[in-house]
Chains A and B, each alone.
Chain A
Amino acid sequence: MIPELGQICVTLALCLAVVQTIFPLVGAHRHRGPWMAVARPAAAGHFVFLAIGYGLLTWSFITNDFSVLAVASTSNSALPLMYRIAAVWGGHEGSLLLWVLLLAIWTLAVSVSSRRLPEELAVRIIGVMGFISAGLLLYILSVSNPFMRLLPAPPDGNDLNPLLQDPAMALHPPMLYTGYVGFAVAFAYAIAAMLAGKVDRQWARWARPWTTAAWLFLTLGIALGSWWAYYELGWGGWWFWDPVENASFMPWLIGTALIHSLAVTEKRDLFKGSTLLLAIGAFSLSLLGTFLVRSGVLVSVHAFASDPSRGIFILGLLVVNIGGALALYAWRAPGLDRNAGFRMVSRETFLLVNNVLLSIAAGLILLGTVFPLVLDALEMGKISVGKPYFDAVFVIPMLPLVFATGIGMHVAWKNSDPGQLLRKLRWPAIIAVVSGVLLTALAWGTGPVLTYVGVCAGIWVILSSLRDPVMRLFGKGPRMTASTVGMQLAHAGVGLFVIGVTVTSTYSIETDQSIVPGETKQVAGYTVTLKELQQIQGPNYTALRGDVEITRDGQPVARLHPEKRIYRVQTMPMTEAGIDAGLSRDLFVALGDDLGNNAWSVRIQYKPMIRFIWFGCIVMALGGLIAIGDRRYRAVARQADAPAVSGTAARPA
């Protein structure tokens, strides 16, 4: 009964999504007030019914109703309550319902906080979001129904994949999806503006906080996934260039470019075409990512063959959304951009370079991700693109970008005096190079040139970001807005990230060893002793637990307890690594296999500064959060219409 009720709620939500699409869009086109007034109540009702539907599905998971197929395939009665709730998005069907629910939440947020927007713009945005939602709900109800019954009901469920039974992994999909779906707001803004034929500075100002919010969630979502992969997969890697990861990273890159392009549109009324295109691109890649990951196509095109109805539906949805948006762009974009000039050394140039480099990186990653699929579909052989390719296509555009970021933050709009710039940045540059080289050499000894370059680049961006806030502390320099501070903080986060990546990838030590309880190994100056191995019992698994003592020069450093778990239902072995986390380095011990003769294989790793990678991401997200708090995004429209360009020429965005 409960699942059927849920299905009815979702069906009603679909009906309301159709209403939410048609009335506002037609109403805005024909300037009919009563039609437009339907938008907000419809969006609210759409949200309410989806929330109830999602709640009922969750209830089926909590009460272990294994007559529901989705529950039977991803949950189990022995599963702790928290993971039963998380199991809702552990499978394809439930995760898409979560996706649509999050879309409804974003729509609600837009409709509540859009009172200051011109009514036509606001209802068009709500209408476009309703359209996206309607398409997905149709997909869910027709070919991916999470409320599908499984009769006769099995006595117990298939259990949640043990890899997903982890707090970070339970949070990762909702966080990532909130980011993905958040780009739907930017997308809807772009479509609404093109429908109205008007893209101006005020529009960009309204769109900015939404885009930054989506980007912030995506940043945290990707960082969570990376952190999880690091400690849970048992390999100690933090990024594998796996197609699933790439699918989340491409929208991030394009979204980052969009944030910067929007800044130019807001401040200078330029780059309108690229802003619109990037908004379309960020959401299209999010949509593509969701479907590719969840439909299994990324690992094999032939996953479609096993369920062609899904495949055709997905293709249809992508074509309508992306194709429609691009067609609208082709029709409306010419003539939007005005021909205002800017000099070579200007903020605009740097942001242009930024957008180009980020787009190139995203494009090349897309090539590496999709090309194997195309070859496979054409029966031209199975290939995969190796990690070195992705490393290269990412580092080549990103390294110059990191250097340019340090300069770009201090360049004025329109035209900047290179001499003045040089005087301003001379000391940060010198300090960055000297300290980068010295610190690297002293802490870890020699390394390849690129390592020094990377560390210097990271320090350079951090110093350049901190320059203005520090000067401000001494009462010098211009006043700073929240969005400026947020921008500087986010860039400092990039610097931390770059340092972390560079040092970890150069100086990590990874060894696989054979070890007998009581035996001692030396790794990176640490003495690692496997004291003993013992059998323990978890709620739904049994495990072999190691007791590992790590000392350095006779001083105790850490006591780690890596586990090898066997989950009872899926009889799947799982490695729980023992990690001693520290700001300057991680020590990582994972249990491998029984080698016979009482010996076990263990993976022992020394990972310098790996925490900087995720710490940098958190700082970036924090920067985004502060930027959203800028008062001017909440200022009344009339004030913001006042001419501002002339007075803000020297003020950073």
Chain B
Amino acid sequence: MTPRRQRMLTVALVLVGVGLAVGLTLQAFQENLLYFYSPTQALAGEPPEGRKFRLGGLVEEGSMSRQPGELKVSFVVSDLEQSLPVTYEGVLPDLFREGQGVVAHGYMEPDGTFRAEEVLAKHDENYMAPEVAELLAEQGHPVKEQAAN
């Protein structure tokens, strides 16, 4: 092989590799986009059927309940317009509280409740996840920011 042909071959191999990688990753990208919905949107059926998404809102005061001694917990997430019951089994994050913002990752059950596989707490100094804060602001209920943060 002449050096020139060898170089061409190298370039071709790299291109094929890159192409393959790009194809595979774009597919992975497509499959792993997680959309964020409010309870109102979720109840209106906006999330595609059977697809996982992120649900954000406030944990309604007094809505948290569990059988004593059981891991399974249920609470209601609201955007101050509509409310959606959520179930979760596992350890809740430290920042989870009634009246505070929450983002849950999961899917809609056929019975119209949201099954959370993961309940998220941000590890920064704000209690409110920004998506939730914006959501509430859009609906005309701006949340007072934590002082001096």
Contacts and interface: CB of A to CB of B under 8 A. Distances in A.
A599 B95 CA distance: 20
Interface in B51-66: 54, 66
A574 to B, nearest CB: 6
Q: Which of B7, B31, B34, B91 has the most A CB atoms < 10 Å from its CB?
A: B91
Interface stretch (A390-398, A434-442, A632-640): A390-398
Contact of B91 (A73, A599, A602): A602
Contacts of A364: 25
Given A69-B148, A356-B14, A603-B91, A384 B123 contact: no
B125 interface: yes
Contacts of B92: 592-593, 601
B99 interface: no
A539 interface: no
Nearest to B66: A595
Contacts of A392: 24-25, 28
A229 B123 CA distance: 9
A505 interface: no
A356 B10 CA distance: 13
Given A300-B134, A396-B21, 14 more contacts: A303-B130, A341-B3, A344-B10, A364-B25, A382-B131, A383-B34, A385-B34, A388-B32, A389-B32, A393-B29, A512-B91, A514-B71, A516-B69, A603-B90
Contact of A343 (B6, B21, B130): B6
Contacts of B89: 512
A163 interface: yes
Contacts of B130: 296, 299-300, 302-303
B140 interface: no
A596 B21 contact: no
B6 A344 contact: yes
Contact of B148 (A72, A512, A575, A597): A72
A596 B69 contact: yes
Contact of A597 (B36, B69, B125): B69
B3 A349 contact: no
Contacts of A385: 29, 32-34
Given A344-B10, A356-B18, A396-B21, A233 B123 contact: yes
Contact of A158 (B3, B94, B147): B147
A356 B16 CA distance: 13
B49 interface: no
B148 A382 contact: no
Given A72-B148, A344-B6, A384-B36, A360 B21 contact: yes
20 contacts: A299-B122, A299-B124, A299-B130, A300-B131, A343-B3, A344-B9, A382-B131, A383-B33, A383-B36, A384-B54, A385-B33, A385-B34, A396-B21, A572-B94, A572-B95, A573-B95, A595-B66, A598-B69, A599-B69, A601-B92
Contacts of A41: none
A353 interface: yes
Sorted nearest first, the 5 A-B pairs with minimum C-beta distance are A596-B68, A592-B91, A300-B130, A389-B32, A382-B36
A303 B137 CA distance: 13
A540 B126 CA distance: 20
Nearest to B94: A573
A194 B10 CA distance: 29
A622 to B, nearest CB: 29
A321 interface: no
Given A382-B36, A385-B33, A593-B91, A599 B68 contact: yes
A367 interface: yes
Contacts of B18: 356, 360
Contacts of A300: 130-131, 134
B107 to A, nearest CB: 13
Contacts of B139: none
B134 A601 contact: no
Contacts of A343: 3, 6
B67 to A, nearest CB: 8
Contact of B29 (A353, A368, A513): A368
Nearest to A160: B125
B34 A393 contact: no
Contacts of B125: 161
A209 interface: no
Nearest to A150: B148
Interface string B1-31: 0010011011000100110010011001101
Interface string A9-37: 00000000000000000000000000000
Interface string A336-360: 0000010110000100110010001
A155 interface: no
Nearest to A368: B29
A598 B70 CA distance: 11
A328 B106 CA distance: 48
Interface string A381-412: 11111111100110011001000000000000
Contacts of B14: 352-353, 356
Given A302-B134, A514-B70, A596-B68, A389 B94 contact: no
A510 to B, nearest CB: 10
Interface in A47-106: 69, 72-73
A234 interface: yes
B69 A367 contact: no
Contacts of B28: 388-389, 392-393
Interface in B134-149: 134, 147-149
A590 interface: yes
Contacts of B32: 385-389
Contacts of A512: 71, 89-91
Contacts of A603: 90-91
A479 to B, nearest CB: 31
Of B14, B28, B34, B68, chain A has the most CB atoms within 10 Å of the CB of B28
A52 B134 CA distance: 41
A36 to B, nearest CB: 43
A352 B129 CA distance: 42
A161 B94 CA distance: 13
A387 B3 CA distance: 43
Contacts of B134: 300, 302
Given A234-B94, A384-B54, A596 B29 contact: no
A68 to B, nearest CB: 11
A592 B94 CA distance: 8
Interface string A288-306: 0000000010011011000
